[in-house]
Amino acid sequence: MSVLVVGLSHRTAPIDLLEQVALDADAGHRLASRLRGGGHVDEALVLSTCNRLEVVVEAGTFHGALEEIGAALGELSGLTREQLTDHLFVHYDERAVAHLFELACGLDSMAVGESQVLGQLRQSLAAAQRNGHLGSSLNPLLQQALRVGKRAHAETGIDDVSRSLVTLGLDRARGVLDDLGAARTVVIGAGAMSGLAVATLVREGVGDIAVVNRTAARAERLASQHGVRTLPWSDLTSAVGSADLVITCTGAVGHVLDEPAVARARSDAGRTGAPAVLLDLAMPRDIDPAVSRLRGVHLWGLADLQDPSPEADPDDPAETGPVAAVRGLVTSEVAGYLAERHAARLGPTLAALRTSAARVVDAEMSRLDQRLPHLPHDERAEVRQTVQRVVDKLLHTPTTRVKQLQAGYDEVPADYAHALRELFDLDSREVASVSTPPLGVVEKATGTRAEGSSDD
79 in the same domain as 146: yes
384 in the same domain as 286: no
d(CA 233, CA 237): 9
**Count of C-beta atoms within a 10 Å radius of residue 344:** 13
- Evaluate whether residue 172 is within a structural domain: no
216 in the same domain as 102: no
pTM score: 0.60
In 3D space, the residue among 81, 85, 36 whose CA is nearest the CA of residue 60 turns out to be: 36
- Evaluate whether residue 367 is within a structural domain: yes
Helix pair 192-203, 159-174: axis angle to 10 deg: 50
- Evaluate whether residue 456 is within a structural domain: no
Which residue, of 156, 187, 208, is where some domain finishes? 156
Q: 3-state class of 359 per DSSP?
A: helix
- CATH code for position 221: 3.40.50.720
- Evaluate whether residue 452 is within a structural domain: no
- Evaluate whether residue 167 is within a structural domain: no
391 in the same domain as 294: no
- Evaluate whether residue 166 is within a structural domain: no
Domain that holds residue 44: 2-156
Integer angstrom CA distances of residue 360 from 347, 352, 365, 373, 438: 20, 12, 9, 19, 27
pLDDT given for residue 440 in this prediction = 37
Q: Are 184 and 245 in contact (CB under 8 A)?
A: yes
- CATH code for position 58: 3.30.460.30
pLDDT given for residue 254 in this prediction = 81
d(CA 284, CA 307): 19
pLDDT given for residue 456 in this prediction = 30
365 in the same domain as 225: no
In 3D space, the residue among 240, 197, 215 whose CA is nearest the CA of residue 15 turns out to be: 215
pLDDT by residue, tens only, the chain of 456 residues: 589 999 999 888 887 788 788 888 899 999 999 999 988 999 999 999 877 899 999 998 999 999 999 999 998 888 888 889 889 999 999 999 999 999 999 998 877 887 878 988 999 999 999 999 999 899 999 999 999 999 999 999 888 776 667 888 899 999 999 899 999 999 999 987 888 899 999 999 999 999 999 999 999 999 999 999 999 999 999 999 999 999 998 877 789 999 999 999 999 999 999 999 999 988 678 999 999 999 999 999 877 875 443 334 445 544 558 888 999 999 999 988 887 776 666 667 777 777 888 888 888 999 999 999 899 988 988 998 899 889 888 888 877 766 565 555 444 444 566 666 776 777 655 544 444 433 333 333 323 333 332 323
Quick: pLDDT tens for 221-237. Answer: 999 999 999 999 999 99
105 in the same domain as 195: no
125 in the same domain as 27: yes
184-188 and 52-59 as β-strands: parallel, antiparallel, unpaired? unpaired
Which residue, of 156, 187, 204, is where some domain finishes? 156
- Marked catalytic residue, from 6, 13, 50, 170: 50
28 in the same domain as 150: yes
352 in the same domain as 305: no
- Evaluate whether residue 93 is within a structural domain: yes
306 in the same domain as 342: no
Active site residue 249: no
- Evaluate whether residue 76 is within a structural domain: yes
72 in the same domain as 7: yes
Q: Are 44 and 55 in contact (CB under 8 A)?
A: yes
208 in the same domain as 289: yes
d(CA 120, CA 247): 26
d(CA 70, CA 210): 39
Domains in the chain, number: 3
d(CA 15, CA 286): 13
| Helix, strand, coil shares, percent, the chain, to 5 | 60, 15, 30
Find how far residue 213's CA is from the centre of its chain. 26
